[in-house]
Chain A
Amino acid sequence: MSAATKSERALPWALVTPALGWTLLFFVLPFVAMAVSSLTAHEAGGFTLSNYSQFFANPSYWQAMVNSLQVTAIVTVISVLLAYPFAWILAEQVPERWQRLALMLAVLPFWTSYVVRSYSWLLVLAQNGVVNRALTGSGVFGEPLQLANTRLATVTGFVHFFVMLLTLTIFANLKQLSPSYRKAAADLGAGPVRTFLHVVLPLTLPGIMVGAFLTFVLCIGDYITPQILGGNNELLMPQLVMMQIGRRGDFPLASALSIILMAVVTIAYLACARWLKIERA
């Protein structure tokens, strides 16, 4: 590189600077602005920690975080438990030539609009919706059940989305597994159940962890699903954040709550970082 001319040395910087600049200007700087804002008093101005102390002092704010963590944990566990067998069936039981089609079908609604998907669940779960019609029509229940605007509705909407996402990641994981592992286990006398429990499952566990973490991050930060399906009966953190902006224009408090939410995600990441081996090219 010593013989390189000035313009040749400038070239790599000219290539990477626009992307770096964009990230600094529209990602890092906004974050700094948000952090500074979270330390100012709404309307009165001046620096204060009151936005953060409010979160710990106000039980309803605290409750929103508890709700968020509970819903996210439930959604992550149910989604993994539903998606794993499904991905396994697609990868092992469906003939090779149909797998691509089967997988594409399994994630087709994944490509519909996120807002519309939540609304569709509202249709299904409404007071006079399909599920209630089926339940009352078949005589299982006399009265229609309150399904919409509940935590159950939020969880259902989330699980629907994440089952598709996790099926994709777990399927890819299972397909990457070399068949020689299974052959070796069979040669050593293991039946299908033992092979699965002692070979296939442990080998796909890192992939499951990555998928579960992705579910956690996307779920805890989502505003749409709880707002449409859960309603305002029980607030989750993103709803609480949006409420500060929408109803009260309180940017400092909204910023502080966002940063607290982000801190929780970061802590979760650090807690399971040793299981998360996100591959680098």
Chain B
Amino acid sequence: MRAFIRVVSGLYALAIYGFIFLPVVVLVLFSLQATSFPIPPFTGPSLRWYEAVLADTRLTSALVNSLLVAVVSSAAAVTLGFLSAWGFARFALPGSGLMRGLITLPLTVSYLIIGMGLLVLFNWAGVPKSLTAAGIGHVVINLPLCFAIVYSQMGDHQINIERAARDLGALEWKVLLLITVPVMAPAIFAGFFLSMTFSWDEFVISFLLTRFDTTLPVEIWNLLRSGLNPKTNAVGSLVFAVSIVLVVLFELMLLRRKPA
């Protein structure tokens, strides 16, 4: 019975792994072939389409835009999230539950609706479409996340360290910068990292709120209009590689923090 369960489990896990990796393998494999259609049969490795991607200034500038929006909007989201989490965790404010609920509310609404709302508002207010507009949207989606992560990690033992610092005469801003931020660094880092990955990958808000200068997912979307295209495979594989590097770095940092 036990051996039977093991065999069935192994086969099932293998099948699911196969399902999960099938599209990624196909994507990467056919990015490496020189023909103009990314379809079987595979005709040997070539870096032709990677060269084409790197020579395409629309794609490379979209990549820079994406990184810029991701870094700036994540920094803003984690700063706002951290400050408010600290405020709510350390001080008793009237209507605190309601206000915390308001800050986390965007988590329950789809990106499409957040983007639509901003589009209608900006349209009325005469704000032109731009990367900044998309960045504002990215802060809206990531702020609740950063807030929730940091807020959930603010425990009582940290209050005591802050109290000790205050008793020793530290001013509030010194407590914040020299005690709270370093103590909360893992949560702040996690919030920033998650925001980065969400912003880096976000499509619909950027699609609605940018026009000429746009982010990488939107530029890839534009490439899709030409149907199956090995250039899309190449740029997709590059994006995948960047994400993997980020995730592995994140994992290694988490592992190092853990006492073995």
Please report A residues at the B interface, Cβ cutoff 8 Å. 8, 11-16, 18-20, 22-24, 26-31, 33-34, 37, 82, 85-86, 89-90, 93, 104-106, 108-109, 111-117, 119-124, 126, 128-130, 133, 160, 163-164, 192, 217-218, 220-224, 228, 238, 241-242, 245, 251, 254-255, 258, 261-262, 265, 269, 281
Report yes or no: B203 in contact with A114, Cβ–Cβ below 8 A. Answer: yes
Q: Which residues of B contact A242 (CB under 8 A)?
A: 112
Given contacts A113-B239, A221-B111, whether A26 and B84 have CB atoms under 8 Å apart is no
Instruction: Given A112-B240, A114-B201, verify A241-B112 contact (CB < 8 Å).
Output: yes
Given contacts A89-B13, A123-B23, contact A12 B90 (CB under 8 A): yes
Within 8 A of A (CB), among B194-242: 197, 200-201, 203-204, 208, 216-217, 220-221, 224, 228, 232-233, 235-236, 239-240
CB distance from A187 to the nearest CB of B (A): 19
Question: Knowing A23-B102, A86-B12, A241-B112 touch, does A111 contact B23 (C-beta < 8 A)?
Answer: no
Q: Name the B residues within 8 Å of A224 (CB-CB).
A: 203-204
Q: Which of the candidate stretches B43-51, B52-60, B156-164, B243-251 sits at the interface with the other chain?
A: B243-251
- Other 6 A-B pairs with CB < 8 A, given A8-B172, A16-B87, A16-B99: A106-B17, A116-B232, A116-B235, A130-B22, A164-B20, A258-B117
B6-64: which have CB < 8 Å to A? 6, 9-10, 12-13, 16-17, 19-24, 26-27, 30, 37-41
With A26-B137, A251-B119 in contact, is A120–B27 under 8 Å at CB?
Answer: yes
With contact pairs A19-B147, A163-B20 given, residues A120 and B109 touching in the complex (Cβ less than 8 Å): no
| Complex contact A23–B21 (CB within 8 A) | no
Which residues B94-118 have CB closer than 8 A to chain A?
A: 99, 102-103, 105-106, 108-114, 116-118
- A19 near B203 with CB under 8 A, answer no
Given contacts A12-B90, A23-B140, A114-B217, contact A34 B110 (CB under 8 A): no
- B219 closest partner in A (C-beta): A115
Q: Which 9 A-B pairs have the closest CB atoms?
A: A221-B110, A30-B117, A15-B87, A120-B23, A116-B236, A19-B84, A12-B91, A281-B152, A16-B87
Q: List 19 A-B contacts (CB under 8 A).
A: A16-B93, A18-B80, A19-B81, A19-B143, A33-B121, A85-B12, A89-B12, A111-B247, A113-B243, A117-B23, A122-B228, A126-B228, A129-B40, A217-B108, A220-B110, A221-B110, A222-B110, A258-B117, A262-B109
Measured in the bound complex, the distance between the Cα atoms of B247 and A136 in whole Å is: 38
Say what secondary structure dominates the interface of chain A: helix
A16 and B5 alpha carbons, distance in the complex (Å): 53
Chain A residue nearest in CB terms to B124:
A33
Are B99 and A123 within 8 A (Cβ)?
Answer: no
Known: A115-B203, A120-B27. A18 touches B220 (CB 8 A): no
Alpha-carbon gap, A193 to B61, bound state (A): 56
Interface residues as binary, B65-89 with A (CB distance below 8 Å gives 1, 0 otherwise): 0000000000000001101101110
> Once the chains bind, are B26 and A123 in contact (CB under 8 Å)?
yes
Known: A27-B117, A112-B239, A261-B113. A160 touches B39 (CB 8 A): no
Contact between chains at A120 and B26 (CB < 8 Å): yes
| Residue among A13, A28, A130 having the largest count of chain B Cβ atoms under 10 Å | A130
Residue among A33, A116, A258 making CB contact with B112, cutoff 8 Å: A258
- Listed residue (A31, A124, A269) with the most chain B CB atoms within 10 angstroms of its CB: A31
The CA-CA distance from A109 to B241 in the complex, in Å, is: 11
B201: chain A residues at CB < 8 Å are: 113-114
Cross-chain contact A123 with B39 (CB below 8 angstroms): yes
Partner of B39, one of A90, A128, A218: A128
For the A-B complex, the count of residue pairs with Cβ-Cβ distances under 8 Å equals 233
Chain B CB within 10 Å — which of A15, A22, A122 has the most?
Answer: A15
For residue A120, which residues in chain B have a CB less than 8 angstroms away from its CB? Answer: 23-24, 26-27, 236
B195 to chain A, nearest CB (A): 14
Smallest CB–CB gap between B175 and chain A, Å? 11
Q: Is B145 an interface residue (CB 8 A)?
A: no
Whether the pair B117, A113 counts as a contact (CB closer than 8 A) is no
Q: How far is the CA of A281 from the CA of B23 in the complex (A)?
A: 38
Q: Which of B20, B216, B217 contacts A106 (CB 8 A)?
A: B20
Q: Is the beta-carbon distance between A123 and B30 smaller than 8 angstroms?
A: yes
Contact A31 B236 (CB under 8 A): no
**Inside 8 A of B41's CB, which chain A residues have their CB?**
133
| A27, B106: Cβ atoms closer than 8 Å | yes
Instruction: Give B136's nearest chain A residue, CB to CB.
Output: A26
- The interface residues of chain A lying within 8 Å CB-to-CB of B139 are 22, 26
Contacting pair B114 A22 (CB below 8 A): no
Q: How far is the CB of A33 from chain B (nearest CB, A)?
A: 4
* Residue from the set A18, A26, A34, A122 with the largest chain B CB neighbour count within 10 Å: A26
Given contacts A120-B26, A222-B110, A224-B203, contact A15 B239 (CB under 8 A): no
Bound CA span A217–B107, Å = 10
